């Protein structure tokens, strides 16, 4: 059955790539992905490469995302980046509440929700990440954790804002480990998240909101993962750092 939601595949480059390397990668992606319309394609370089990458994307079907931003609109916050600064480089998306931010920088659901509101205030589309750890899964707490994160990290978003928000289900145990969730595990968790959205908003919002899967997405598993009814794309880390693997993920995903 064809989904009514368009796939969205984003590359999260994390703390990798010099400006020169970023430019090389984006040049390669542009050549390979020109004309691809079946999926929204987003690259999320480090802040330092946004300026140069944004110039390359002016005449491209690829979109630009950032990996984080401040909850504050500006001011005396040393080391932080505000939404208006991202807008300068035509950034459209911003990853919020990635598990690495939650684990290493103490980001809470409440903070992620404030950032999501700040992103919407600047017309940036947040990609809000949620996902359980292995211990939580083994203790049978996956749904409880997801419910707390989804309700907490999306708190206060209007219906319209929710429709412009992407959720990324990223089980922590699958990130950077080479061990992806099985298509069934991803589907089960993402159907649960969609039911939550339906309870928080309504059926029509839940049907339209896009939910990505992230965690060791590779060319070899992209097609099967993205054939699941509630998997609407991918947030890709390691495999987004090279032209060949990111392009193959996208091509395999749209061939599903
Ligand atoms: P990975 O990372 O694809 O390297 O597992 C995914 C992510 O952290 O978004």
CATH code for the domain of 46:
3.20.20.70
Task: Look up the domain containing 153 and give its range.
Answer: 7-254
Per-residue pLDDT tens over the stretch 156-183? 999 999 999 999 999 999 999 999 999 9
Count the domains in the chain.
1
CA of 172 to the centre of ligand 1 (A): 9
Q: Which residues contact 221 (CB under 8 A, 6 or more apart)?
A: 180, 183
Q: Ligand 1: does its nearest atom lie under 6 Å from the Cβ of 170?
A: yes
pLDDT at 2: 52
Could you tell me if residue 81 is inside a domain? yes
Could you tell me if residue 2 is inside a domain? no
Per-residue pLDDT tens over the stretch 172-230? 999 999 999 999 999 999 999 999 999 999 999 999 999 999 999 999 999 999 999 99
- Tell me phi and psi for residue 192, to 5 degrees: -65, -45
Could you tell me if residue 26 is inside a domain? yes
Could you tell me if residue 181 is inside a domain? yes
How far is residue 122's CA from residue 32's CA, in Å, rounded to a whole number?
A: 31
Residue nearest to atom 6 of ligand 1 (CA): 237
Q: In the structure, what pLDDT confidence band is assigned to residue 1 with cuts at 50, 70 and 90?
A: very low
Catalytic residues: 98, 170
Per-residue pLDDT tens over the stretch 50-76? 999 999 999 999 999 999 999 999 999
CA of 75 to the centre of ligand 1 (A): 32
Counting residues of the chain whose pLDDT is more than 90, the rounded percentage is: 98
Residue 178 CA, closest ligand 1 atom number: 5
């Amino acid at each position: 059955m064809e989904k009514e939601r368009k796939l969205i595949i984003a590359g999260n480059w994390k703390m990798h790539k010099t400006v020169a390397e970023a430019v090389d990668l984006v040049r390669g992606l542009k050549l390979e992905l020109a004309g691809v319309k079946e999926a929204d394609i987003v690259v999320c370089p480090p802040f330092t490469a946004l300026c140069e990458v944004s110039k390359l994307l002016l005449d491209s079907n690829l979109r630009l995302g950032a990996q984080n931003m401040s909850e504050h609109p500006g001011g005396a916050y040393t080391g932080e980046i505000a939404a208006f600064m991202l807008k300068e480089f035509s950034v459209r998306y911003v990853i919020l509440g990635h598990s690495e931010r939650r684990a290493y920088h103490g980001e809470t659901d409440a903070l992620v929700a404030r950032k999501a509101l700040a992103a919407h205030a600047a017309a940036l589309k947040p990609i809000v990440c949620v996902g359980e750890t292995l211990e939580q899964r083994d203790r049978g707490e996956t749904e409880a954790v997801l419910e707390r994160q989804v309700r907490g990290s999306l708190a206060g978003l209007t219906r319209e804002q929710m429709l412009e928000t992407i959720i990324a289900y990223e089980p922590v145990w699958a990130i950077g480990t080479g061990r992806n969730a099985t298509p069934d595990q991803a589907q089960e968790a993402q159907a649960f998240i969609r039911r939550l959205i339906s309870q928080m908003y309504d059926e029509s919002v839940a049907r339209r909101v896009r939910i990505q899967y992230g965690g060791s997405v590779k060319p070899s598993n992209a097609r099967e993962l993205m054939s699941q009814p509630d998997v609407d794309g991918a947030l890709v880390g390691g495999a987004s750092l090279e032209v060949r693997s990111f392009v193959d993920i996208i091509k395999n995903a749209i061939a599903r």
